[in-house]
Every structure is written in structure tokens, then in C-alpha cells.
Amino acid sequence: MPNQPKTSADGAIRNPLIALARWGEEFKEIFTARVSERQLGFRYTWYLGALTLGTFTIQISTGILLMLYYHPSIPQAYADMKDLHFAISSGMFLRNLHRWSAHAMVLLVFLHMAKVFYRGAYRPPRELNWIVGVFLLLMTLLLSYTGYLLPWDQLSYWGTTVGSNIMSSIPIIGNKLRFILLGGNSVNANALIRFYVLHTVILPLAVILLVVIHLWRLHKDGGMHSEPVEKSGEKP
Amino acid sequence: MPDEHNKETMGRAPGDMDRRQFFIKLGATSLAVAGVGACVFGVQYLSPSVLYEPSPIVNAGMPEHYPIDSVTLDPRYGIFVVRLPEGFYAMSAICTHLGCLSVWKPEAGVIACPCHGSSFQRDGKVIAGPAPRPLPWLKMWTSDEGSLMVDRGSPVPSESEYVRA
């Protein structure tokens, strides 16, 4: 039996390539339902969701590298940003990659949503995935907003001041929300550390959780393929 | 087992709950109380009790430092000190639109906000732009040493009175 993997007496696979392939098969079973290749193809998706996930991966990897040199404190934040730009090897490249990838991510999320919308792929049974996607859009915008303050320059300071004042116009709870977000009455040291924690820990974890749910529902409910779905004998 | 179920429910009024239902309700209520408590504690924890922010009361310096008919911005505190022949008044420099720091433009004789283009008269009234309200006047007085003092946390009605020093 030439195709049979070589196993030892205890049943373990000795060929590492075959062992890897088998583990890969096991990971595939995380998703209990299969999604057809056609539904994930370029014709239906333009790969916009995958590209968005790609930019998010760039954000995580470049973000972790930027964290190694950035201190979220008023005396150091601006100087660290300048160091990253002018003193640290490849710092300018990493920071610009982080920045342009962030812009691309926002753009791709919008395009992805537009594509889903115009294909009608938000309709049952995919409505839950559409709602998860809306929350992912919200998280993306919050990530952009919290990252905006971190260079601690004039633009970021006043941008955050304006943004937080927009929040305080929410009736009744607006001022309290602004106070909690900033950790005070104005954009200062508390606001910087809060935005840093939101930007580097809380929001990325929320995005990862939502992306996992998004992919799980993609496999369960199908992708952008918008052929009429039979549900209770009716065609929507 | 319907017979056992009948046995269990025998002798109870229809509205009574069995042990399972009781514990489910008890558990759900406990979780709800814990959830609300966690939210309350969370909001309290996230609202700082001690703030290392500048005091709202600031010393704007001696009156003779301000020429007559001048509008002076103090960007550290976000206030304008205006000196007219009649006396002094202080005004917030924080734009009433979205909180940017406005500046005095002497060549145009207006206070302008760089963020969204609001402009104000020297007394704080809105001339143009999205600002919904005039710049508030602030409580001002002279200290025992003769310095001009401003309380940024105490707005007063516009054109209420001038401080003489």
C-alpha cells in the first residue's frame, strides 16, 4: 500500500509532511459546513472581505512592532513618533505601512459592505452576518479614531477634542460618556493612556472575536452568492 | 417519564414552580444582579475620582500688562482677557461648536476658530459659522495683590459688568 502513511507500532505518523497535512485537515473541521469555492470566488466577492482581513493582519503585525518603541505618555509620545520616523531603522516604513493600511482597511470595509448590499447578501439567512459586519465597521472606525490621538501632535489633539465633543452632544449621557472615554474633562494624559489601551488591546480583541464569528457564519450561511434561498418553501 | 412528572407535580397548585424552575429563576436573577452591579462598579471605576487637571481659577497677571482696547489670548488656560476703556472682562476661548481654541485676529477685528470657521465679535457674539452660542463670559475679579483672577468654571451673563483695576 504505497499511499498509506508510514506509521509506527503506536499508530503515530512518522512522515512530518503527512502529519502536517492531517493536522490541516483537522483544522478544516472547525467549520462544520462547507462553503463552495464559487461563492468565495472573485466574481462574487471581488475578494474585498479577504483584502480587509489582509489589511487587518498588516495592522496587527506593524502595530505590535510600533508598540516596541512607543510610550503612551505626554512627555514621550510625540518624541517617540518622531524617533520612529527619523531615527529607528525601518521605523518610517512601518509607521507609514500602519497608517496607509489603516486608510485602506476603512475603504475596503466600505466597499465590502457596498458589495454585500448591492448583491443582496444581507438578506436571510445571512442577516446575522450583516449585523456582525456592521459592528466590525464600527470597530474599524473606533480603531481609526483611537489611533488618531497616539502621535500626540496638534492634529491628533484637536481631532480628538472635536470627536469627543461630538460625543458629548448625545442627549443625557453624552457628557458622562465623554468624561469616561477621556478619563477627565479634557484631552490629557488619562485620555492618551485610555486611547492606547483601547487601540492596542480592547478593540483589536473585539475585532478578532467578531471576525471569528463572521467567518463561522460565512461557512454556515454562505457567502455573497445571492441565488434565491429556499426557506420554508418560499423564494425571497 | 410522564408518570414521574405527574407524581412530582402532584399536590401543587398550577401556578407553583418546581425545584428546577426555582433554581433557574434564582440563577437568572443572581446573574442579572451581578451584571447590573458589575456595570455600576465598571462605570464608577472608569470615572476618575481624582483629576490632575489645572485648577479652574487662574491668575491672568497684572492689569497693566494689558493695553487698552486689546484682546489677549492665554492659550494655556483657553481664555481671552479683553481690556476696554471701561474696564476688563474675561471670556472663554473654547469655541462653542466643538471645543477648538479660537484666536483673536487683530487685522480683521474678530475672534476666529481655525477648525470649522466660526467667527465671533470681541464681546463673544457669533458673527458666522456653525457655532451655536456666543463665547461665554467668565467670572473675573482682582486679587488682594492686584492680579486679575478668572474662574473658568463660572460663566456669567455677557456684558454683565466690567472689572475695574
pLDDT digits (tens, 9 = 90+) for B20-37: 999 999 999 999 999 999
Q: What is the pLDDT of residue A227?
A: 54
Residue with cell 481609526: A144
d(CA A21, CA A17): 6
Lowest-pLDDT choice from A131-135, A194-198, B15-19, B100-104: B15-19
Q: Do A165 and B99 touch (CB under 8 A)?
A: yes
Q: What is the pLDDT of residue B82?
A: 95
Q: What is the pLDDT of residue B161?
A: 78
Stretches where chain A sits below pLDDT 70 are: 1-11, 29-39, 224-236
ipTM over 0.90: no
Q: Do B48 and A166 touch (CB under 8 A)?
A: no
Mutate to test the interface with B, among A155, A158, A197, A202 (most CBs of B within 10 A): A158
Q: How many residues comprise chain B?
A: 165
Q: Do A183 and B100 touch (CB under 8 A)?
A: no
Q: Collect all residues of chain A within an 8 Å Cβ-Cβ radius of residue B98.
A: 161-162, 165-166
Q: What is the pLDDT of residue A177?
A: 95
Q: What is the pLDDT of residue A11?
A: 66
Q: What is the pLDDT of residue A1?
A: 46
Q: Collect all residues of chain B within an 8 Å Cβ-Cβ radius of residue A189.
A: 52
pLDDT digits (tens, 9 = 90+) for A54-113: 999 999 999 999 999 999 999 999 999 999 999 999 999 999 999 999 999 999 999 999
Q: What band does B106 get if pLDDT is binned at 50, 70 and 90?
A: very high
Q: Do A179 and B53 touch (CB under 8 A)?
A: no
pLDDT digits (tens, 9 = 90+) for B124-152: 999 999 999 999 999 999 999 999 999 99
Cα B2 off chain centre by: 64
pLDDT digits (tens, 9 = 90+) for B44-95: 999 998 888 888 999 999 999 999 999 999 999 999 999 999 899 999 999 9
User: Chain B contact for A175, CB < 8 A?
Assistant: no
Q: Which residue of B has its CA nearest to A167?
A: B98
Give chain B's mean pLDDT. Answer: 89
